[in-house]
Structure 1
Amino acid sequence: MALQWLTLVCAIWLQSINGTNSNFPSYSSQLKRILSISQLQLNNIASASDAGKLLGFISGIASAYLPLWLVLFIGSILGFISYGFQFLFLANQISSLSYWQIFLLNSVAGHSICWINTVCYIIAIRNFPLDRQIAVGLSTSYVGLSAKIYTSIVDFVAPNSPNERAKVFLLLNSVLPVLVCVVAAPLVRELNVGKSKKLEKGFFAMFMIVIVTGIFAVISSLGSVSSRFLPKYVIFIGLLVLLLLPLVIPLGEVIREKLEQKCLIRVHDHEGFASRENSGEKLDGESGVLGQIGAKLMLRKFEFWLYFFVYLFGATLGLVYLNNLGQIVESRGCSGTSSLVSLSSALGFFGRLLPCLFDHFFPKCNRGLSGAAAMGAMMTPMCGAFFILLSQRDISLYISTTIIGICTGAITELFGTKCFAVNHNILVSNIPIGSFLFGDVAALLYKRGRSSSGEGNCMGEKCYQTTFIIWGSLCVFGTLLAFILHARTKKLYSHNRLCIEGNLDT
């Protein structure tokens, strides 16, 4: 059991450094100046990372034929190359890269994330068959913490020069995933858990660690508050300790097993184990059948396309806002880009954690709530957040970023594990579509605002005012679609027979 927990700890570490694209807003403005590109071109570079995920099915196929450690290394090497070339370009170590070369490199970087992500999902689902939803939620929640981790390292080691900070971000994006993959590779494997049982105590301890981690991440991201009471080195060391803290659980299992052996404690409840084992096999069997017919059923279902657009106008719209956060902050004349990116990352971490927290602590309540209703509930405050941004007060920016960060993270985790291949490879296609569509609209409106002012960069409320109205209206429309979807799938959800329900199962 100790090794079982250790594989989950490795998945947590891998996910914590796998959101390399999430720190893009921290250096996007500097990249725009160095490349001398327009806001539209910058948005397309940000969207290229999402477009690379369209080929994520390749990593899924590879994981069926290659050992997991090799799948892991392929992903880390792709990221090492793509971000490495961009770092060398900014460091003037290679000749100038064209816009399309940067675009292609970012697509490869986005694709690299899929390989590491696939390994983490396989570990969580197969090594924790009776707690797979919770294991997946716990591990993937750490993706939301990536931007905070990278920003904290840069704040600690890099000077205040924007150009130097951009170089360090790209260097970390290139090297850090490789280093963590080297550490995790010997332990990344699918275990024969045999007579599995639910692990309530272990997950309770893990939740306590995760909650403390999230609280520390939020407090240390509060700009002037954190800088006054928490020096940069304290934040850096604190995050490092909290990332190592989950090791307490497998270590505790080792101690417990040693004590049991020493005291000759042997507890064999064959009947109970057999019952649990049969239950686990039944779930896996259902999952396998649904996974085989899921894609055809989903693409024929009107409910699937409702779900597709709900996600497009919800989580994807939130991701587009976070991708544009650097330019939004700059246009409003604020100087807290790094703190806002860190804050949105920490809150996204909490948001991703919410579904599995409810699944663990309130299982009966959670069974009665469909994923569509949960998505609608999460999108409702997002609608208000976009309209709050119309206010030019700095506090409105922090409030809206807080709401959008939490809600986007929560919606991202409302997939379910029964039809994972379908979830990951088909539904994720709306992210690059929305990223290009919504981001390009924002960039064109930004360009119009810049032209009217005659300045190099657009400054003032006109830059994103219309964009926020459009995004808020789309979010309202998506929320209505979510509740329509809930009404249409309420009966089907209760029976849990269609693959679309596997996607909506929280």
Structure 2
Amino acid sequence: MALQWLSLVGTIWLQSISATNTNFPAYSSQLKLLLSLSQLQLNNLAFASDAGKIFGFLSGLAAVYLPLWLVLLIGSTLGFIGYGVQYLFLVTNKVSSLPYTLVFLLTALAGNSICWINTVCYIIAIQNFQFDRQLAVGLSTSYQGLSAKIYSDVVDVFFESSSSIERARSYLLLNSTLPPVVCLITSPLIRVVTTPRSRSLSNGFIFIFSITIFTGTFAVITSLGLRKGLITPLVILCGLCVFLLILLVVPLMENLRERMENKCMIRNYGKKVCDVSSMVEENKGVVNEDGVKDEGEFMSNDDEEMGAKVMVKRLNFWLYFFVYMFGATVGMVYLNNLGQIVESRGSSKTSSLVSLASSFGFFGRIFPCLLDYHISRTKCKVSRPGLIALMMVPMTSAFFLLINDNNICLHISTATIGICTGAITSISVSTTAELFGTNNFGVNHNILVTNIPMGSFIFGNMAALLYRNQGLENENGKCMGIKCYETSFITWGCLCLLGTFLAIILHLRTK
């Protein structure tokens, strides 16, 4: 079982650096200046990163026929090419000669690379923890919320005094090199290891939960601008690295337990009972304190397994599709535009706000994971659409709060949108399985998330057109003030409110 935990730690490391598209707002304004882009073209680049998800099914097909370590390396190579070519043009000061179409395609290629890494992480978590698959998936994917903060902290440490152009280059450099390095480190750990279920799994998850909570708390505190005294960028980065490395305690302790267990069995000449630790339970489940078999699985609310053709004919699918589009996707559009939103308010704290959204997004993703852990032990039934509706209520309020030009309101709204977007994204994994079954989960969920590039294109371009119209009053075409995004905030808030009502309807249909 030590290899099981080692593989989970490997997926956590991968997820913590995989979401390279989330740091785009931190350097989008500089990229806009260097490439002489309009706001509409800049938003289309954000869309290009999401558009890579349309071809995410290719990674799923590759995982069927190729070793997982090879799938992992292919994904990291795609990101290396997508971001690396852009970086080379920036370094050689020939970025102005880079065609916009090529930049768009390179960004889409880099966005697709994320799907390959995520596919491997999903497969490892599901196969290696068959009785706790949702718990393992939720834990590993929650670390995606830390990606933007990790990249921002690395840039703050090594490029703190650099110009804005140099910082933009540094983000592209890290996006192209860090994922391949981590993929090479973790590729020997990424393997499918199926073993019988053991009671020691519960202890391992509790330990990882504790470290995860401490990591999230540390990330939030250090994202609030409290960097005086001992809290320097270097201390923050070292702290995050320590939290990621300390996860190795679980596989190390499990390895030690297995060795002691083997020695005990040898001393007892083959006796079946050893007092060192509890032995492995039967693969078909364990018995809880009440004498009831606990499979550790969250059973679907609908016994019918649906294929894609059947699913898209159901009203529940289209309700769910637009709930996600008006919730998590709108939140992602806001975060993609965060660089321009901060600039329009006359602030230069884009990096800290991106870090703040990333940290709260991490907590948002871990919340459903904690809920799944509780559900699997208590056998309680909780409606996922109902949880999504609860998450969308504060998110709606956050968009309307943005109409206030106070910087405190900007920070509160960004943190709220970050945590709610992360929570909805994480809940959606369980919701898809709950509504449409688990047999065709991979295909069904990929169909659902096509709303992300669609919403990114529609809502992002709407905001860009409104920004451009407001900027026409200025000679340089740059818009300054709350008016630049005021209409966009109201529109996004109304869409989120509509999504809340749709989620309530879906909850009533499925509870």
Shared fold (TM-score, shorter chain, > 0.5): yes
For 1:201, the equivalent position in structure 2 comes to 203
How far apart are residue 411 of structure 1 and its match? Answer: 0.2
Is 1:244 the counterpart of 2:245 in the alignment? yes
For 1:173, the equivalent position in structure 2 comes to 175
**CA, structure 1 residues 355+274, in 2 after alignment: closer, same or farther (shift >3 Å)?**
closer
For 1:246-261, what aligned pairs fall within 5 Å after superposition?
246-261=247-262
CA distance in structure 1 between the partners assigned to 2:136 and 2:110 by the alignment: 26
How far apart are residue 232 of structure 1 and its match? Answer: 1.4
Unaligned runs of 5+ in 1: 491-506
Q: Confirm or deny: 8 A CA contact 1:359 1:366 kept in the other structure.
A: no
Q: Confirm or deny: 8 A CA contact 2:132 2:296 kept in the other structure.
A: no
Amino acid in structure 1 at the alignment position of 2:255: V
For 1:112, the equivalent position in structure 2 comes to 113
Tell me which moved more, 355-364 or 212-221.
Answer: 355-364
CA distance in structure 2 between the partners assigned to 1:274 and 1:130 by the alignment: 9
For 1:44-83, what aligned pairs fall within 5 Å after superposition?
44-83=44-83
For 1:424, the equivalent position in structure 2 comes to 445
CA distance in structure 1 between the partners assigned to 2:298 and 2:386 by the alignment: 26
SS of 1:100's partner is: helix
For 2:17, the equivalent position in structure 1 comes to 17
Is 1:386 the counterpart of 2:399 in the alignment? yes
Is 1:32 the counterpart of 2:45 in the alignment? no
Q: Confirm or deny: 8 A CA contact 1:303 1:485 kept in the other structure.
A: yes
For 1:136, the equivalent position in structure 2 comes to 137
How far apart are residue 56 of structure 1 and its match? Answer: 0.3
**CA, structure 1 residues 280+63, in 2 after alignment: closer, same or farther (shift >3 Å)?**
farther
For 1:501, the equivalent position in structure 2 comes to none
Q: Confirm or deny: 8 A CA contact 1:8 1:124 kept in the other structure.
A: yes
CA distance in structure 1 between the partners assigned to 2:273 and 2:324 by the alignment: 47
For 1:192, the equivalent position in structure 2 comes to 194
SS of 2:497's partner is: helix
How far apart are residue 322 of structure 1 and its match? Answer: 0.5
TM-score, L = length of structure 1: 0.91
Q: Identity of paired residues, percent?
A: 57
Amino acid in structure 1 at the alignment position of 2:203: K
Could you give the per-residue CA deviations for residues 463-493 of structure 1, whole angstroms, max 9, x where no partner exists? 0001000000000000000001111122xxx
CA distance in structure 1 between the partners assigned to 2:283 and 2:252 by the alignment: 28
Is 1:324 the counterpart of 2:337 in the alignment? yes
Count residues with an aligned counterpart.
487
How far apart are residue 235 of structure 1 and its match? Answer: 0.9
**CA, structure 1 residues 384+365, in 2 after alignment: closer, same or farther (shift >3 Å)?**
farther
**CA, structure 1 residues 74+8, in 2 after alignment: closer, same or farther (shift >3 Å)?**
same
Q: Confirm or deny: 8 A CA contact 1:123 1:188 kept in the other structure.
A: yes
Which of 411, 418, 422 does residue 409 from structure 1 map onto? 422
**CA, structure 1 residues 271+77, in 2 after alignment: closer, same or farther (shift >3 Å)?**
closer
How far apart are residue 65 of structure 1 and its match? Answer: 0.6
For 1:163-312, what aligned pairs fall within 5 Å after superposition?
163-194=165-196, 199-223=201-225, 225-264=226-265, 266-267=272-273, 273-276=282-285, 293-312=306-325
CA distance in structure 1 between the partners assigned to 2:486 and 2:417 by the alignment: 17
TM-score, L = length of structure 2: 0.91
How far apart are residue 282 of structure 1 and its match? Answer: 12
How far apart are residue 271 of structure 1 and its match? Answer: 11
**CA, structure 1 residues 272+10, in 2 after alignment: closer, same or farther (shift >3 Å)?**
closer
Q: Whose helix fraction is larger, Structure 1's or Structure 2's?
A: 1
Which of 448, 459, 466 does residue 445 from structure 1 map onto? 466
Q: Confirm or deny: 8 A CA contact 2:333 2:456 kept in the other structure.
A: yes
CA distance in structure 1 between the partners assigned to 2:279 and 2:256 by the alignment: 24
For 1:43, the equivalent position in structure 2 comes to 43
Tell me which moved more, 414-423 or 145-154.
Answer: 414-423
How far apart are residue 241 of structure 1 and its match? Answer: 0.9
CA distance in structure 1 between the partners assigned to 2:359 and 2:477 by the alignment: 32
**CA, structure 1 residues 277+112, in 2 after alignment: closer, same or farther (shift >3 Å)?**
farther
SS of 1:300's partner is: coil
CA distance in structure 1 between the partners assigned to 2:60 and 2:208 by the alignment: 28
How far apart are residue 334 of structure 1 and its match? Answer: 1.4
SS of 2:195's partner is: coil
CA distance in structure 1 between the partners assigned to 2:98 and 2:498 by the alignment: 41
SS of 2:187's partner is: helix
For 2:290, the equivalent position in structure 1 comes to none
Unaligned runs of 5+ in 2: 288-292
For 1:494, the equivalent position in structure 2 comes to none
**CA, structure 1 residues 484+156, in 2 after alignment: closer, same or farther (shift >3 Å)?**
same
Could you give the per-residue CA deviations for residues 427-471 of structure 1, whole angstroms, max 9, x where no partner exists? 110000000000001000000110124443110011000100000
Amino acid in structure 2 at the alignment position of 1:36: S
Could you give the per-residue CA deviations for residues 118-164 of structure 1, whole angstroms, max 9, x where no partner exists? 00000000100011101000000011100000000000001331111
How far apart are residue 274 of structure 1 and its match? Answer: 5.0
CA distance in structure 2 between the partners assigned to 1:458 and 1:199 by the alignment: 54
